[in-house]
Chain A
Amino acid sequence: AQSVAQPEDQVNVAEGNPLTVKCTYSVSGNPYLFWYVQYPNRGLQFLLKYITGDNLVKGSYGFEAEFNKSQTSFHLKKPSALVSDSALYFCAVRGSQGNLIFGKGTKLSVKP
């Protein structure tokens, strides 16, 4: 069965420091992977996706993600965190019929 795991419920980072939000996946075949961000009482905003090609994917707002096939991981990264990055982050994989399968989410807290 296809699944996504986000092992950390919360990640705390100081402003200006690099951040990493972890995601591992389990799929048959080649994965289509996504990161979304959700601000309080809002829908999901697309950050980036991996379909094929370079293992380092660049996305919106300075975020990037590294696809690692051997470790079945797709960690979200940013070189320098902002307070405004504080939000809920979801990793997702595309299911066999085109639906998205989400992780449970990781709350990112960036302190000044």
Chain B
Amino acid sequence: DAGVTQSPTHLIKTRGQQVTLRCSPKSGHDTVSWYQQALGQGPQFIFQYYEEEERQRGNFPDRFSGHQFPNYSSELNVNALLLGDSALYLCASSYLLRGTYGYTFGSGTRLTVV
């Protein structure tokens, strides 16, 4: 089953550095969303990409940016890392913007900022 694939699975970065996380959506899905899950919390929406454009954004600073490629895969970039950026970053894919047919999540990338 070609589900959602995220890489890397774990990452350790130093404060002030930049990081790029990658996501390949489920086959047939064209929309990718990114979520941040801090320890002990529910996932928080970062942004959503459709047709290579950011379609909507949650309450996250501009240090968080992204990209979607023609093959629907996506990257999440975080600049000037803070200790508080340590979290599990989840990618979710869906078909069409409104996700009527559901969302499939990847296993996530665990980012630790030291």
> Hey, which bits of chain A sit against chain B, CB under 8 A?
32, 34, 36, 41-46, 49, 51, 90, 94-95, 97-105
- Asked if B92 is at the interface of the complex by the 8 Å CB criterion, the answer is yes
Residues of B within 8 Å of A, CB-based: how many? 30
- Asked if B71 is at the interface of the complex by the 8 Å CB criterion, the answer is no
Cross-chain pairs A/B with CB under 8 angstroms, 16 sampled:
A32-B99, A42-B108, A44-B90, A44-B92, A45-B105, A94-B98, A97-B48, A97-B55, A97-B97, A97-B98, A98-B98, A100-B92, A100-B99, A101-B45, A102-B42, A103-B42
A103: chain B residues within 8 A (beta carbon): 42
Give me 15 other A-B pairs in contact (C-beta within 8 A), A44-B90, A98-B94, A100-B43 excluded: A43-B4, A44-B92, A45-B105, A46-B105, A49-B102, A90-B43, A95-B45, A97-B97, A98-B31, A98-B55, A98-B56, A99-B56, A100-B35, A103-B42, A105-B40
